[in-house]
Amino acid sequence: MNYVKLPNSDIEVSEICLGTMTFGNQNTQQEGFDQMDVALDRGVNFFDTAELYPVPANGETYADTERIIGNWFQKTGKRDRVVLATKIAGPGDYTKHIRTSGFHTDAIRHAVDQSLERLKTDYIDLYQLHWPERVTNMFGVRGFKHQPNDVWENNFEAILNTLSDLISEGKIRQIGLSNETPWGVMKYLELSHKGLPRMATIQNPYSLLNRTFEVGNAEVSLRENIGLLAYSPLAFGVLSGKYLHGKQAANSRLELFPRMSRYSSEASTEATRRYEKLALQHGLTLTEMALAFVTSRPFVTSNIIGATTLKQLHENIDSASVVLTDEIMEGIEAIQKEIPDPAP
């Protein structure tokens, strides 16, 4: 396993990150424990979660994923071996059971304190804003459309002041963004020149089926040294190839989340078919090629994998040792040119 430092910090993380959003829904607590045991044993020291998890979000299971991770820390005593990332939920109809006050100072403070309690720890290594408060293009929306009725007012400086206080208090170490646009990233980074804390990472979707991060955000990432934590690198499991061959289980993600239909569109299915053919021609599984591609990108700090079985977890971690040849990369680019970003 290779390790890199979170940008502008001394925190060293594995290039593979364990995503945990299934813990408490698709996976039981014991299955979550087993995944964390295996991941840590195999060199994955970076775990990502959120107060929102598990998904789909609802009041009954709210924050159960953090509780499971906290119970594992309590059971194993291995908190000091893990770089822990979590997030505060943004506003929306599906988060009203959490709060309706957005990223107000009191809301951030309460969210951090509650996460610390559930996680049974006194510090969070990386604290992230799960998605912007303002209306912008995210979650499958390809282009920005101005919304005259958006009531959002720029509060970035107030947010950073609150996070700065929490850093000074030792409750969080580094901060990051998620589902953010180039404009949002640059506005936050601009404020860091005023002595406010600097965003270290941005957690956005990135996969063979969705390379929209390369349009704007990749340049910002490289030139400004803000690392991508790539989520959905297998596009909700589509890039495992299982949906091509009718192997999905009843609790598979596309079965549980039908609104993520962009991953099963005709264009996505055709692109997936071509990527699988390319992988097999070079002695790789589609999963290995898809994950290795993401991990290899120069703007990626860590690749967030998600599994529901230990077999899937092992295959995902194994991808860290896969090196893609120039011929494979040329084949990937040819498919991308013909079917660009079918699942933004």
β-pairing verdict for 199-205 and 83-88: unpaired
- Write out the residue range of the structural domain in which residue 23 sits: 3-240+293-322
pLDDT band at 282 (very low <50, low <70, confident <90, very high): very high
Q: What CATH number does the domain containing 106 carry?
A: 3.20.20.100
What does the pLDDT read at residue 135? 85
52-56, 68-72, 173-177, 243-247: the lowest-pLDDT one: 243-247
Angle formed at CA 336 by CA 335 and CA 337, multiple of 5 degrees: 90
What does the pLDDT read at residue 144? 87
pLDDT band at 269 (very low <50, low <70, confident <90, very high): very high
Q: Which long-range contacts (CB under 8 A, 24 or more apart) does 109-113 make?
A: 109/162, 109/166, 111/51, 112/88, 112/166, 112/171, 112/172, 113/171
What does the pLDDT read at residue 247? 61
Would you say residue 288 lies in a domain? no
* Spatial distance between the Cα atoms of 249 and 246, rounded to a whole number of angstroms: 9
Place of tokens 């996070």: 163
Residue type present at position 212: T
What tens digit of pLDDT does each residue of 87-107 get?
A: 999 998 889 999 989 999 999
Place of tokens 């910090």: 9
Would you say residue 92 lies in a domain? yes
Mean pLDDT of the chain: 94
pLDDT band at 262 (very low <50, low <70, confident <90, very high): confident
What does the pLDDT read at residue 248? 59
Q: Is the pLDDT of residue 246 over 80?
A: no
Would you say residue 332 lies in a domain? no
What does the pLDDT read at residue 149? 86
SS3 26: coil
What does the pLDDT read at residue 256? 66
pLDDT band at 249 (very low <50, low <70, confident <90, very high): low
Tell me the Ramachandran region of residue 118: left when phi exceeds 0, alpha when psi lies from -120 to 50, beta otherwise: alpha
pTM of the model: 0.95
Residue type present at position 327: E
What tens digit of pLDDT does each residue of 9-41 get?
A: 999 999 999 999 999 999 999 999 999 999 999
Would you say residue 259 lies in a domain? no
What tens digit of pLDDT does each residue of 63-87 get?
A: 999 999 999 999 999 999 999 999 9
Would you say residue 84 lies in a domain? yes
Q: Is the pLDDT of residue 276 over 80?
A: yes
Chain centre distance of CA 198: 19
- Higher-confidence residue of 138 and 226: namely 226
Would you say residue 247 lies in a domain? no
Q: Is the pLDDT of residue 61 over 90?
A: yes
Would you say residue 253 lies in a domain? no
Of 3, 53, 206, 243, the catalytic one is 53
Q: Residue 127, CB half-sphere, CA atoms under 13 Å: how many?
A: 27
Residue 147: which residues within 8 A CB-CB, separation 6 or more?
A: 135
What does the pLDDT read at residue 147? 86
71-80, 138-147, 208-217: the lowest-pLDDT one: 138-147
Q: Is the pLDDT of residue 206 over 90?
A: yes
pLDDT-above-90 percentage for the chain: 86
Would you say residue 335 lies in a domain? no
Catalytic residue list contains 53: yes
Bridge partners (DSSP) listed for residue 207: 210
Angle formed at CA 16 by CA 289 and CA 187, multiple of 5 degrees: 105
SS3 167: helix
Number of domains in the chain: 1
307: nearest Cα among 26, 91, 73, 16 = 26
* Spatial distance between the Cα atoms of 177 and 175, rounded to a whole number of angstroms: 7
* Spatial distance between the Cα atoms of 242 and 252, rounded to a whole number of angstroms: 10
pLDDT band at 148 (very low <50, low <70, confident <90, very high): confident
Angle formed at CA 325 by CA 203 and CA 309, multiple of 5 degrees: 50
